Amino acid sequence: EEAKEEAKEEAAQKHARLASQSSLQTAMGRKSALVENAYAFALKQQEVMTRSAASGDELVSEEESVERVEQLLREEARADRQ
């Protein structure tokens, strides 16, 4: 009887560890995707700012570059949906 209780407790602990690991992996996966998207956005923003400087136009502010990148992403999303 005592052995059965120990086995049940051990199984419950193992299940809790697996659930915790799975939850952590899912959270890390989401975090990884967010970081990847943020990095891609930053690269596009840098490209917009660099292109502006290279073309001799007035320098683009960080705020304006964010707006331009958001516009580019909206246009890409529209093109992908079509």
What confidence score (pLDDT) does residue 19 get?
63
Q: Which residue has the higher pLDDT, 71 or 17?
A: 71
In which band, very low, low, confident or very high, does the pLDDT at 8 lie, cut at 50, 70 and 90? confident
Q: Which residue has the higher pLDDT, 23 or 77?
A: 77
Cβ proximity of 72 and 44 under 8 Å: yes
Q: How far apart are CA 11 and CA 71, in angstroms?
A: 53
DSSP at 57 = S
Please write the tens of the pLDDT for every residue from 10-61: 777 776 666 666 666 676 677 788 888 899 999 999 999 888 888 877 888 8
Question: Which residues have C-beta within 8 Å of that of residue 45, sequence separation ≥ 6?
Answer: 62, 65, 66, 69
Rounded to the nearest angstrom, the gap between the alpha carbon of residue 6 and the centroid of all alpha carbons in its chain is: 42
Q: How far apart are CA 41 and CA 18, in angstroms?
A: 35
